[in-house]
Amino acid sequence: MLYFAPISRWKGISLARYARITGWGKYLPEKVLTNKDLERLVDTTEAWILARTGIKERRIAADDETASSMAVHAARQALKVAKLSPDSLDLVITATCTPDLIFPASAALVQHELGAENAAAFDLNAACSGFIYALATASQFIASGTYTNILVLGSEVYSRILDWQDRSTCILFGDGAGAVVMQASDTPPGSLNFVLGNDGSGVDLIYTPGPCGTNKGPYYIKMSGSEVFKFAVNIICLATRQVAKSANLDLKDIELIVPHQANTRIIKAAAKFLEIPAGKFFVNVDKYGNTSAASVPIALCEAVEAGRLRNGDHVVLVGFGGGLSWAAMLLEWGAGRKL
């Protein structure tokens, strides 16, 4: 699906409402699990993991940490950057597939902890594409004139759904949270377009059973690594091309791509097929592994902090994952006049 934002109606007046990211934050648990540490858990080597994935280490949540508690840390940073108080939020969306509870939503716990008493709250599960799905959802609430200030989170504790005896999966993932504040503006810049998609025929290529299905557990992630790898490379290329084209942009007009951080080989292959210099892709998978729905907001936050985005830059966020789902969003970065 393609959506051409941002023209909409607002309170009965024909007005362009741009949805702009005005705050960003991240949280990574303290505990570091290195590839060397994994050598003691499964039949693997530090060198194999680095060569096949680009990952050097990942973070593991403490026993008392959850998707919501990590999201709160990231959210506080993002609100501080946006200079927005929690009670000004209209909506909290948490993208996660490792929620604290089956219900209520982790977003409800976050809302309460932040004191965002005027906000609606819900979780969104589109696996590793979840954050961009959530950002696209937020942009629509803004474009429609429904909401002005939205907190969008990605937070995951995959360490709790990993089989620590399965070397093909436990080496890949890590825990963490990222957050952005998205606000309405009557002037650009802001989000330009997004592409969302899903191919349910690939559900069994990467999934985690749960207690509400027919599977009796244990509830560990299952994955066909090489199939997912091929899907990932293809879909990054397709979604990036689609989202750029829908805004009449050429790939050379994109200053930065922030891809889902799963594997440096996936990112390098996509860069090669797209004929985009690999340096235009922001990469931090070496430090955190694959943090699923948290990976894009954590990477975006670090890209901004590293000075990789300037006003007027075009940035593509692109993700893929279980579903098989995918999502890409094109943003024009920078400051402007808010509503």
Active site residues: 128, 260, 290
Total chain residues near ligand COA (CB under 6 A): 20
**C-alpha 123: how far from chain center:** 13
Cα–Cα distance for residue pair 130/204, rounded to 1 Å: 18
- 240 and 267 in contact (C-beta within 8 Å)? no
Does 48 contact ligand COA by CB under 6 A?
Answer: yes
Contacts of 334 (CB under 8 A, 6+ apart): 189, 310, 311, 312, 313
Q: How far is the CB of 339 from ligand COA (least distance, A)?
A: 36
Give whichever of 21 and 55 is closer to ligand COA, judged by the CB atom.
55
Assigned token pair, 123: 């979780």
Amino acid at 17: R
Indicate the length of the chain as a whole number.
339
Q: Among 33, 262, 293, 315, which residue sits at the site for ligand COA (rule: CB under 6 A)? A: 262
Cα–Cα distance for residue pair 53/282, rounded to 1 Å: 15
Q: Among 183, 263, 264, 291, which residue sits at the site for ligand COA (rule: CB under 6 A)? A: 263
Q: How far is the CB of 301 from ligand COA (least distance, A)?
A: 19
Write the binding mask 140 to 179 for ligand COA: x where contact by CB under 6 A, - elsewhere: ---------------------------xx--x--------
Does 221 contact ligand COA by CB under 6 A?
Answer: no
Q: Among 8, 44, 146, 284, which residue sits at the site for ligand COA (rule: CB under 6 A)? A: 44
Give whichever of 141 and 326 is closer to ligand COA, judged by the CB atom.
326
Long-range CB pairs of 140-143 (<8 Å, 24+ gap) are 140/3, 140/5, 141/90, 141/91, 142/6, 142/17, 142/18, 142/19, 142/182, 142/183, 142/184, 143/5, 143/6, 143/7, 143/8, 143/17, 143/19
Does 226 contact ligand COA by CB under 6 A?
Answer: yes
- 106 and 155 in contact (C-beta within 8 Å)? yes
- 298 and 292 in contact (C-beta within 8 Å)? no
Residues 99-138 that bind ligand COA (CB under 6 A): 128
Does 268 contact ligand COA by CB under 6 A?
Answer: no
Does 229 contact ligand COA by CB under 6 A?
Answer: yes
Q: How far is the CB of 51 from ligand COA (least distance, A)?
A: 9
Does 264 contact ligand COA by CB under 6 A?
Answer: no
Does 53 contact ligand COA by CB under 6 A?
Answer: yes
Instruction: Count Cβ neighbours within 10 Å for each residue of 217-239 and write b for 16 or more, e otherwise.
Output: eeebbebeeeebbebbbebbbbb
Does 234 contact ligand COA by CB under 6 A?
Answer: no
Residues 297-336 that bind ligand COA (CB under 6 A): 321
- Which spans of this chain sit near ligand COA (rule: CB under 6 A)? 44, 48-49, 52-53, 128, 167-168, 171, 206, 223, 225-226, 228-229, 232, 262-263, 290, 321
